Amino acid sequence: MDDSLVPFFKPRGIVVIGVSTSEGKLGHGIARNLTNCGFPGPIHFVAQRGGSLFGRPVHTDLAQVPDPVDLAILAVPPAATPDVLRTCGSRAIPAAIIVSAGFREAGDEGARLEALCLDIAHSQRIRLLGPNCIGIIDTHLPLDTTFLQPPMPPKGNIGFVSHSGAYCAAIIDWARGQGFGFSQVASVGNQADVTEVEMLAAVGADPNTNVIVLYLEGVSDGRRLVAIARELTPRKAVIALKVGRSEFGHRAAASHTGALAGSDRAYDAAFENCGVLRASTSAEMFDWARAIALCPAPAGNRVAILTNAGGPGVVAADAVALNGLSMAVLGEKTRRDLTDILPPSASVRNPIDMLASATPGVYAESLQTIAKDGGVDGVILILPPPPMFRAEEVAAAVLPVIRAAGKPVLVTLMGSALTAVAHDEFTAARVPVYAFPEAAVSGFAALVRRTAPLSSTLADLLPPQVSPTIETLDSMSAEDLMASCGIASARSALARSASEAVTAARELELPVVLKVVSADIPHKSDADGVLMHLQSEREVSEGYERLLRQVRARRPEARIEAVQVQHEIAGGADVILGVVRDPDFGPLLMFGSGGIEVEAMQDVAFALAPVSDEGAGRLIRRTWAGRRLAGYRSVAPADEEAVVNALVRLSWLAHQHPELAEIEVNPLRVQPAGRGAYALDVRIRLTDATPANQPIGTRTVA
């Protein structure tokens, strides 16, 4: 982490400015929590009225506070904040938390105040956390700068970085009821200065944290988030809940790629790239975090289910399939040993149903037998209120076995009053407990996904030989651009009369396709602007006139520039390749089923550009269009290598040329293996930032 953040987490001394004796005031809560949390360094209070609070003097002036002070917590009204910050600067305090609300989130006046605070912080070399945040908790140091209701969360290994203070408060209290704790909690509020990306790095550097949970409403610097997460995730798990998913498709888009690449797709691609596990609900986020924080890494995805009743076992088995995990096949010795332990009508195949009569001892022995099986990577232990014993007796019997297992054992403890004591025993022993089998299996699935290797890092990637080196895209033809990506274009020529079309067709070789060329018609087929399979010169000649007639009928207002005559490439698989520039994460590469039904079929996948050969292969296989390239029933294998090559080069083109806003090849017609692929239609849009300073519109291959 950045050294400038150290004072937030390891301050040599802290001052709270704006403490209050009235309960209910933020400055009261902060003073109370800081006093009670057990922070090992000096704590000082400042307030205009002076006096004393929680056994400490309240200074009336920051100047009275003795050195060292590394962290100031400001609980003063927004209007007073700039002056107080200046005083902190004059005391050379390197870090400040602004707790109060009433800044940018409250309107223009607040935004001006926030900007002023940031100016002061910059000039005085103060790092700012907030405003409008609840600050920082470290349960191990310990440190608690928040005003939340006591007690602090219990100690744990989960770090939590959140854009929402209320979410922090709610989650801390909820987690208490679930029996798990946190290592560090950091609320970044309006992040005038310190952002969630910096906080991810800081919490990631904490030795007591092994899982970091992110509640994100956006991202301050997407590529930096990816870089920091890539560094972290091989050592520590990162789980994110990215909210605002429903704001799809708010961008103007001239291509299928653009229309599909909502910011949510960009987050998916970014998280996939850097190994961040994306949770879909609040509960799932912590179901996963508990499993990863408390369990050893599994060697594979083979699950054994141990239960004393059939029903929950079937529910768990369903969840195993739905999560893409495998049901472990028990070894013969395991089954034999289980037969010795269990009654004759028990099931010694996975799910292992010990029957309702299972004693605590039977639970423990069975678990031990299963955990020893080399074909089992993890166990879901299911414990509904046992009819003949107390759940806590079972907990006591299985806990030593779980500790010694060396494999993940996730407990489904179903009930409340009848299982409350067992719940406490499991959680005290740091065993993850779930109310239902589905959540436990989801936790194990997260453990397995966590072990997946990252795709090659950007640093490992070598750009492919793109020759010649392109200086500006502005004056390049689409054909040359395709050629620079190793993509052949179907041979074509422009015609402005039927006879020109016939001549062109003769040169290009029949059959041909005719397409209208008009800047007013971005989607040619929507305007009846395409004629295919023209087999003879007569058909070409008649086709030319027919094409113009039908386009004019549909779009009387469009200015028709010419008719493109294109040699028709027979057969092959049509796919779409595209790049679009995401405002947060930069160039995104798209691959999928091409044609005119791209948005309807939704058979597309995205990756951050650039990609390696292996990354392109992974992207391809995430779609049906891509899996089909390898051959399907009577469909022969297509030239997947040509597609990989095209994707890699296209991704580097986008990476190296920020002036490229969108490029889309639709369709790319992929020939049988070894015979390449042809771009049949290409759209290109440059950003405003290019020398030409405006989009150049749609350029077809010509």
Looking at residues 2 to 21 of the shown chain, list those that interact with its own copies (rule: CB under 8 A).
none
Asked if 102 is part of the footprint of its own copies (rule: CB under 8 A), the reply reads: yes
- Cβ atoms of residues 430 and 424 within 8 Å: no
Residue 419 engages its own copies in binding (rule: CB under 8 A): yes
Q: Side-chain half-sphere of 149: how many Cα atoms within 13 Å?
A: 8
Question: Considering only residues 55, 66, 207, 345, which one is a binding residue for its own copies as defined by CB under 8 A?
Answer: 345
Closest CA to 513 of 684, 678, 683, 638: 678
**Residue for token digits 């239960």?**
307
> Which of 38, 51, 77, 244 is close enough to bind its own copies by CB under 8 A?
244
Q: Which of 22, 24, 252, 557 forms a contact with its own copies (CB under 8 A)?
A: 24
Shortest distance, position 193 Cβ to its own copies, whole Å:
20
Total residues binding its own copies (CB under 8 A): 83
Between vectors from CA 574 to CA 572 and to CA 576, what angle results, nearest 5°?
150
Selected from 1, 6, 116, 243, the binder of its own copies by CB under 8 A is 243
Judged by beta carbon, residue 29 or residue 298, the one nearer its own copies is 29
Based on its alpha-carbon atoms, the radius of gyration of the chain, rounded to whole angstroms, reads 32
- Among the listed ranges 146-154, 201-209, 333-341, 514-522, the one in contact with its own copies (CB under 8 A) is 146-154
Distance CA 236, CA 50 (A): 45
Measured CA to CA in angstroms, residue 87 lies from 81, 121, 135 at distances of: 10, 11, 20
Beta strands in 134-285 (DSSP E): 135-138, 143-144, 158-162, 184-187, 211-216, 237-242, 277-278
Tell which one of 63, 166, 532, 553 touches its own copies (CB under 8 A): 166
DSSP 8-class letter at 76: S
**Residue 462 Cβ, how far from its own copies at the closest point, in Å?**
35
CB of 311 to its own copies, least distance (A): 3
Tell me the pairing of strands 43-46 and 14-17: parallel
Stretch that binds its own copies, among 165-173, 291-299, 479-487, 579-587 (CB under 8 A): 165-173
- Determine if 520 is a binding residue for its own copies (CB under 8 A): no
Kindly state the helix (H) or strand (E) to which residue 574 belongs, with its residue range.
strand 573-582
DSSP helix/strand/coil, 322: helix
Taking CB under 8 A as the binding criterion, the range among 311-319, 361-369, 490-498, 667-675 that sits at the site for its own copies is 311-319
Closest by alpha carbon to 65, among 133, 19, 29? 19
Applying the rule CB under 8 A, the residues between 259 and 278 that interact with its own copies are: none
Residue with tokens 């779409």: 576
Among positions 216-235, residues that touch its own copies (CB under 8 A) are 217
Contacts of 122 (CB under 8 A, 6+ apart): none
At residue 619, what are phi and psi to the nearest 5 degrees?
-60, -45
User: CB-wise, 245 or 333, nearer to its own copies?
Assistant: 245
d(CA 146, CA 31): 9
Q: Output the smallest distance, CB 147 to its own copies, in A.
A: 7
Binding of its own copies by 418 (CB under 8 A): yes
Q: Give the interface segment with its own copies, choosing from 57-65, 436-444, 446-454, 678-686 (CB under 8 A).
A: 436-444
Among 15, 137, 141, 169, binds its own copies (CB under 8 A): 169
The smaller minimum CB distance to its own copies, of residues 215 and 585, is found at 215
Of 8, 45, 147, 544, the one binding its own copies (CB under 8 A) is 147
Decide if 416 contacts 406 (C-beta within 8 A): no
Residue from 22, 66, 234, 246 binding its own copies (CB under 8 A): 246
- Regarding 173 and contact with its own copies (CB under 8 A), the answer is yes
Binding of residue 309 to its own copies (CB under 8 A): yes
CB-wise, 163 or 657, nearer to its own copies? 163
Q: Does 532 bind its own copies (CB under 8 A)?
A: no
Burial 659-691 (b: 16+ CB within 10 A, else e): ebbbbbbbbbbbbebeebbbbbbbbbbbeeebe
For its own copies, give the closer residue by CB, 194 or 527: 527
- CA dist 363 → 131, 411, 434, 441, 561 (Å): 53, 12, 18, 19, 79
CB of 89 or CB of 351, closer to its own copies: 351
State which residue, 9 or 147, has the beta carbon closest to its own copies: 147
Question: Exactly one of 33, 100, 157, 164 binds its own copies (CB under 8 A); which one?
Answer: 164
Residues 6+ positions from 537 with CB-CB distance below 8 Å: 502, 505, 506, 510
Residue with tokens 């179901």: 287
Per CB under 8 A, the list member of 77, 296, 311, 674 interacting with its own copies is 311
Q: Least separation, in Å, of the C-beta of 442 and its own copies?
A: 9
Q: Which is nearer to its own copies, 90 or 280 (CB)?
A: 280
Among positions 632, 674, 675, 688, the unique one binding its own copies when judged by CB under 8 A: 632
317 or 341: CB nearest its own copies? 317
Tokens of 245: 């998913």
Contact criterion met (CB below 8 Å) for 411 and 439: no
Question: Using an 8 Å Cβ cutoff, are 107 and 132 in contact?
Answer: no
Q: Looking at 377, 438, 582, 639, which residue binds its own copies (CB under 8 A)?
A: 438
Per residue, what are the HEC states of 231-272?
HHCCCCEEEEEECCCCCCCCCCCCCHHHHHCCHHHHHHHHHH
CB of 354 to its own copies, least distance (A): 11
The residue from 56, 176, 335, 622 that contacts its own copies (CB under 8 A) is: 176
Q: Which is nearer to its own copies, 116 or 283 (CB)?
A: 283
Contact set for its own copies, span 356-375 (CB under 8 A):
356
Q: Cβ neighbours of residue 160 under 8 Å, at least 6 residues apart?
A: 168, 171, 182, 184, 185, 186, 203, 212, 213, 215
Q: How far is CA 447 from the centre of its chain?
A: 16
Q: How far is Cα 264 from Cα 375, in angstroms, rounded to an integer?
A: 38
Among 49, 235, 600, 694, binds its own copies (CB under 8 A): 600
Residues 88, 237, 291, 317: which binds its own copies (CB under 8 A)? 317
Measured from the CB of residue 340, what is the shortest distance to its own copies in angstroms?
17
When asked if residue 628 is in the footprint of its own copies (CB under 8 A), the reply is yes
Residue 77 found at the interface with its own copies (CB under 8 A): no
CB of 472 to its own copies, least distance (A): 34
Name the minimum Å distance from CB 287 to its own copies. Answer: 11
